[in-house]
Structure 1
Amino acid sequence: MAINTDAPHATDAALQSTDFGDTQKLLDISDKQLKRELNHTDSDTHFAGSLKEEPTEQSVVISASVPRSSSRASFRCASPPTPEEREPCSFMWVAVMSCFCPAVPINLFALYFAHMSRSMIQAKDYDGARRLGRLALLLSLIAIVVGLAIIIYLLMTELK
């Protein structure tokens, strides 16, 4: 299927005459909002003026599309640990110890998450490393408990 690049592009008047006029209005509003966000370096304080005004159709659309949390915070790297706070633990040693238990798929996942936690520590993403380290610890403990239960069950059936 080929795309016709020689066809003339539709103008704004042609777009508004079709059913896509509402979509074009929403896109214009979101473009204006994006330009405003890029021009302001402060937090979302520039929306306070638009929220205090009388609620028109345009201001309702703008206030409804504003995210409640700052999306810029998700792109920032986590700050390094303070002197009182230690670097998070990856629990690699617990994951390696769980590999000696016969709960094969669980302990392999624990080893994988411990490795990912260690690589996130090296990348200075301490929040992600802490989260994956806790998951590795949880999976390691589950693998140890399941492995010990399997060993006890096998010993009990062999003694009979």
Structure 2
Amino acid sequence: MAINTDAPHATHALGERAALHSTDFRDTQKLLDISGKELKRELNRSPSDTILVKYLEAEQTVVNDASEPRSPSRLSFRRALSPEPGEREPRSFMWVAVLSCFCPAVPINLFALYFAHVSRSMIQVKDYEGARRVGRLALLLSIVSIVVGLAIILYLLMTEYK
């Protein structure tokens, strides 16, 4: 940023604030007034700038041409738009996750419920491959939660009657 040395300096009771308000910002206004065509004309004067402008324009067309829809999940990078013929939609296993919430394995069953919800959301946006993977994870966590919960209940029952 250049300092305008031609501006008069105000040195009264307000000090430097008054000096900043009284300075002339003509250079900044000139830069703001330059249109896109004038900017390209200015950049095209040197060969290295021409290459830079062409590179930036090519990069913009590549970004605009990428019309492939992105998956909303971090777990999958591909999106299957519909289930293959002879195959049905994947399951989210929400009912098993809700059933596992009645077992006293609290952190595990909450994760199972979360992943079942994520799987159901992926099915709604037609990300079937990601929904299948997350649904299997929800089922696995639900089963682990039920087994751990039953083990805790059995342990408490056995230690109480001794």
The CA distance in 1 between the partners of 2:70 and 2:98, in whole Å, is: 32
Conserved 8 A contact 2:93-2:135: yes
Amino acid at match of 2:81: S
The CA distance in 2 between the partners of 1:145 and 1:156, in whole Å, is: 16
Displacement, 1:79?
1.9
Displacement, 1:39?
9.6
From the CA coordinates, give the structure whose radius of gyration is larger: 2
Aligned position for 2:152: 150
The CA distance in 1 between the partners of 2:94 and 2:62, in whole Å, is: 43
Q: 1:123 to 1:74 in 2, by over 3 A?
A: closer
What is the aligned residue count? Answer: 122
Q: 1:83 to 1:158 in 2, by over 3 A?
A: same
Name structure 1 gaps, 5 residues minimum: 13-20, 42-71
TM-score, L = length of structure 1: 0.56
Q: 1:158 to 1:79 in 2, by over 3 A?
A: same
RMSD: 3.9
Conserved 8 A contact 2:112-2:139: yes
The CA distance in 1 between the partners of 2:64 and 2:127, in whole Å, is: 28
Bigger helix share: 1
Name structure 2 gaps, 5 residues minimum: 1-24, 32-41, 72-77
Q: 1:34 aligns with which of 38, 59, 83?
A: 59
Q: 1:39 to 1:141 in 2, by over 3 A?
A: closer
TM-score, L = length of structure 2: 0.56
Conserved 8 A contact 2:79-2:129: no
Q: 2:129 aligns with which of 116, 127, 130?
A: 127
Counterparts of 1:49-128 in structure 2 under 5 Å?
Answer: 74=70, 77-128=79-130
CA offsets 1:54-78 (integer angstroms, 9 cap, x no match): xxxxxxxxxxxxxxxxxx5855742
The CA distance in 1 between the partners of 2:98 and 2:65, in whole Å, is: 49
* 4+ residue segments displaced more than 6 Å: 27-30, 38-41
Amino acid at match of 1:114: A
Displacement, 1:114?
0.8
SS of residue in 1 equivalent to 2:28: coil
CA offsets 1:113-160 (integer angstroms, 9 cap, x no match): 112211221121112211221111111011011101101110111121
The CA distance in 2 between the partners of 1:132 and 1:89, in whole Å, is: 10
The CA distance in 2 between the partners of 1:145 and 1:39, in whole Å, is: 51
Displacement, 1:6?
2.0
